[in-house]
Structure 1
Amino acid sequence: DYELVIKIDDAITYDSDEINLSAYVKDNKNLTLDIYVKFIESLSVTS
């Protein structure tokens, strides 16, 4: 079995609708995966 490690980009802004993720298989950095996520619906938080 492979252990997949997913990292979220540190430069995330709350007003952005995009998130960049990178993933790699533990103990094998040659198997990498770039993930691009774009939110379809915006999330609003009211206080």
Structure 2
Amino acid sequence: MIKPALTPAVVTVPRSVRIGYGVGSVCTATFSTVPGLLLLFYMTNVLAVPA
């Protein structure tokens, strides 16, 4: 007789791990976005480069 396959147990990720990944994602996005925005402001207002 063939035994039915065992279904894997559902493992949930703790809230602290999800918050940690979320904070890392926000920091990465901020690190990559803010310099571009500041450079845009600097070039158009200080260096008078036309938009």
Taking structure 1 as the reference length, the TM-score comes to: 0.17
Structure 1 or 2: more strand by fraction: 1
Compare CA radii of gyration and give the structure with the larger one.
2
The structure whose RCO (Cα within 8 Å, separation 6+) is larger is 1
Hey, which of these two has a bigger chunk of helix by percent? Answer: 2
TM-score, normalised to structure 2, is: 0.17
